[in-house]
């Protein structure tokens, strides 16, 4: 978000927890709650959403929500954004059978694969002094664009370029 602000873009950040980002992120906002700040209509949404079952998140599944939190996050984000939605998820996320059928019905615009593989340990791991590096999971930015029709394209974001 700091990069967006540094480039003159209007940006707001929300998180369920206080991760020490200072005044650029409003903590304790639940994106899944209807009446929270995450429920406002916005131009674009860029997020590293939670990806887990509701049980793994230690939360009950909201009424009518999709089975997995990352799918529900994307569904809500597409309702709340007027333009683009970009979500950072494990690259294999898109390949699940039922999910792949659902994705085909969405305005899936681009996939940006991260190379080399990033290390993305949890905040708790980092706070505990754990080692950062040697990522074992591939990640991609999946971008959806309202009004887009056609086939998505694949691109790479390389750290060393």
* Element containing residue 153 per DSSP (H, E): strand 153-158
Kindly state whether residue 32 falls inside one of the protein's structural domains. no
Residue 14 placed within a domain: no
Inter-residue contact 140 to 114 (CB < 8 Å)? yes
State both tokens at 35.
Answer: 């009446």
Give the domain CATH number at 129.
3.40.50.150
Give the pLDDT score at 161.
Answer: 60
Structural domain includes residue 107 = yes
- Cα-atom radius of gyration of the chain, to the nearest Å? 16
Residue 28 belongs to a domain:
no
Residue 36 has what pLDDT? 53
Place of tokens 């003159």: 8
Residue 38 lies in a domain: no
CA atoms within 13 A on the CB side of 87: 23
Q: Give the pLDDT of the chain (161 residues) as one tens digit per residue.
A: 778 888 888 787 777 777 777 777 777 777 877 655 555 688 999 998 888 877 888 888 888 888 888 999 999 999 999 999 999 999 999 998 889 999 999 999 999 999 888 777 766 777 788 877 777 889 999 999 999 999 999 999 998 76
pTM of the model: 0.84
What was the pLDDT predicted at 40?
A: 66
Domain contains 55? yes
- The total of structural domains in the chain comes to 1
Domain that holds residue 98: 44-158
pLDDT at position 39 is 56
What's the confidence (pLDDT) of residue 23? 76
Of the candidates 68, 65, 63, 76, the one whose C-alpha atom is nearest the C-alpha of residue 51 is: 68
What pLDDT does residue 91 have?
94
27 token code pair = 């903590």
Structure tokens, 103: 């994705």
Q: Please report, for residues 33, 81, 96, the alpha-carbon distance to residue 24 in angstroms, rounded to integers and kept in the order given.
A: 21, 20, 35
């Amino acid at each position: 978000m700091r990069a967006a602000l540094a480039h003159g873009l209007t940006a707001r950040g929300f998180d369920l927890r206080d991760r020490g980002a200072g005044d650029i992120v409003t903590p304790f906002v639940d994106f899944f709650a209807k009446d929270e700040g995450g429920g406002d209509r916005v131009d674009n949404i860029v997020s590293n959403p939670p990806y887990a079952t509701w049980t793994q998140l230690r939360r009950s599944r909201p009424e009518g929500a999709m089975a997995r939190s990352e799918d529900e996050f994307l569904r809500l984000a597409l309702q709340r954004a007027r333009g683009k939605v970009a979500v950072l998820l494990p690259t294999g996320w898109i390949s699940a059978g039922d999910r792949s059928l659902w994705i085909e019905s969405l305005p899936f615009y681009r996939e940006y694969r991260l190379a080399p593989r990033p290390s993305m340990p949890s905040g708790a791991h980092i706070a505990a002094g754990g080692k950062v590096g040697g990522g074992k999971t591939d990640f991609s930015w999946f971008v959806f664009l309202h009004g887009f029709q056609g086939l998505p394209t694949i691109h790479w974001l390389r750290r060393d370029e």
